[in-house]
Structure 1
C-alpha cells in the first residue's frame, strides 16, 4: 500500500526506532553509523512532505493553513538541529545536545502531525489521491537518497503557505478579515 499517510507514519516509526537505538550506543563509530542515515531520512522526509504532502493538504484540509505553518516551522527546527549535529564529532557533548534537540523537535512534530494534519487529510482526501501522492512521496525520497540535492536551509512558513495557496488558486487569508463579507445586510448597502 502506498497511501501517503501510511508512508509518513512508517517514517515516523523509523525515526522513533533509530533514536531509541542511539540510546543504547556509546562508541562514536556506532553512533555515526546510526545517526547519519537517520539525519538523511529526517532531511528527506521533511523535504518530501513539503514537496508532496503539504501542498495537497492546503487544498483540502479543514485547518490546513495552521497545520502547515506549524509543520514547516517544526521542519526548520529539525533541520537546524540536524545541521548542528553535523558540525560536531559523533559522541561529543555538542553532538549529543544537537541530536537531543533534533529528537525533541521531531517527537513534538510527529505527535502534532499524526493528531492533526494526517487525520485531517485522511478525512478530506480520497484513497486514490492518497495512493497517487504516496507514489510521488516514494519517488521523491528515492531521487534524493542520502539527502542528495535537498536544500536543508530554513523555509519561511508564511511564504511557503502563501505560495502553496497561490498555486492551488486559493485566496490568501492574510487580510485579517473573516472572509464573510460585510456586517450590514444588502438593503443597508444600497442594493435593490
Structure 2
C-alpha cells in the first residue's frame, strides 16, 4: 500500500461521485441529498486525513516543485481544503436540488478539482521522488485507518494555513 496510490484512487472516487450527482434526476431531492451526504463525508474525512498524515511527512521530506517550495505547496493545500469546506457548508445551508444548492455543489466541485490537480501534479510527485516506500506504506496505513475510524464524518473546521505550518515546525523541532 502506497499513500500516493491511495490518494489517487480516492481522487478518482471523488470525481466519480460528482459525476453520479450529474446523472441523478433533478427532482429526486432525497437521492441528491443522500448522495451528497456520502460525498461530503468522503471529502472532509479525506482532507482531514491528508492534513494529519500526508502533509507532515511532505513538509519534512519533500522539496517542492519547480513553481514553489514545499511550504508554499502545503499552505496552498490547506487553503484549498478551507475553500472546499466553505462550499460544503453552503451546500448544507441550501435545499437539496435548489438552484442555490447546485451552485454550492458546483463551487465544491470546482475547488476540489483544482485542488486534486495541483496535488497530483506537485505533492504526490514530490512524495514519490523523496519519500521511501516503507514510509509511504506507513502513511497509507495511518491514513486509511483514520478514514475507517471516521466513516460517519468529522467536524468541519477551517484551519489557518500559517498556523498549521507553524504547528508542524514546532512539533518537528
TM-score w.r.t. length of structure 2: 0.93
Contact 1:82 1:98 in 2 (8 A): yes
Name the structure 2 match of 1:17: 16
Matched, 1:157 2:161: yes
State the partner residue of 2:50: 49
Cα drift, residue 124 of structure 1: 0.6
Which structure exhibits the higher relative contact order, with contacts defined as CA atoms closer than 8 Å and separated by 6 or more residues? 2
**Distance in 2 (alpha carbons) for counterparts of 1:90 and 1:10:** 28
Could you tell me how far apart the structure 2 residues matched to 1:168 and 1:7 are?
25
Q: Matched residue of 1:146: which SS?
A: coil
- Cα distance per residue 1:46-94 (max 9 Å; x no partner): 0000010001101011022011000000000001111110111210111
Q: Which structure has the larger Rg?
A: 1
Q: 2:129 aligns with which of 101, 123, 132?
A: 123
CA–CA distance in structure 2, aligned partners of residues 103 and 128 of structure 1: 33
Structure 1 consecutive aligned stretches of length 4 or more whose deviation exceeds 3 Å: none
Consecutive unaligned residues of structure 1, counting only runs of 5 or more, are 170-192
Q: Is 1:138 matched with 2:157?
A: no
In the alignment, structure 2 segments of 5+ residues that lack a partner are 65-69
Asked if the contact 1:61–1:124 (Cα under 8 Å) also holds between the matched residues in 2, the reply is yes
Q: CA deviation at 1:107?
A: 0.2
How much does 1:33 deviate? 2.3
Q: C-alpha separation between the residues in 2 aligned to 1:98 and 1:79?
A: 11
Taking structure 1 as the reference length, the TM-score comes to 0.84
2:108 alignment partner in structure 1: 102
Conservation of the 8 A alpha-carbon contact between 1:59 and 1:165: no
> 3-state SS of the aligned residue for 1:153?
coil
Query: Which has the higher mean CA deviation after the structures are superposed, 19-28 or 122-131?
Result: 19-28
- 3-state DSSP of counterpart to 2:156: coil
Point out the structure with the larger helix share. 2
